[in-house]
Amino acid sequence: MTRTHWLIFVCGSLIAFVWEIFQMPFFEPGDLEPFERTIRCGIASLGDGVILLTGYSLAALRGGHAWLWQAAKMPYAVYFGFGLVVAIAVEMIATSLPANSFLSWRYSELMPHEPVTGLALIPIAMWTVVPALTILLVRFARAEPD
């Protein structure tokens, strides 16, 4: 893995962790203690980092490893599109599992939903904001591509 790969994973995971913590009021805590919720947010943010890293790698197949520093639209579409598709799939699966499952969650009454499909909007918004901030932070940390 190159330095850019590590930066995508580390920066993306850290940004995702902050997002995960701040979105907690939009989810039902169940019987989890605050420490347990924080651990789950940490695990989720590492998973988010893997999704970002995979999206970056898929985009690199289309635009080369320097796509972050170029203006080609297709690699960006792959990067953002992959994250959105995975986020939608994970949300649909996790909310359909039994409530007491470790891999499931439920939304609080604060969670806004898209009116046609019923998808939760906060997790979907995450997959536009977090990948964009990750790109900006990686560009800031690296003056040039690998």
20: left (phi over 0), alpha (psi -120 to 50) or beta: alpha
Q: What is the pLDDT of residue 142?
A: 72
As a whole number of angstroms, the distance between CA 5 and CA 29 comes to 33
pLDDT digits (tens, 9 = 90+) for 95-111: 888 877 877 889 999 99
Domain count, the chain: 1
Residue-number span of the structural domain to which 50 is assigned: 3-141
146 falls within a domain: no
57 falls within a domain: yes
pLDDT digits (tens, 9 = 90+) for 2-14: 889 999 999 999 9
pLDDT digits (tens, 9 = 90+) for 49-76: 999 999 999 999 988 888 888 888 999 9
Return the exposure string of 58-78: e unless at least 16 CB atoms fall within 10 Å of the residue's CB, then b: ebbeebebebbeeeeeebbeb
83 falls within a domain: yes
Structure tokens at 72: 């080609």
Query: Cα dihedral angle (50, 7, 26, 96), rounded to 10 degrees?
Result: -10
Predicted structure pTM score: 0.90
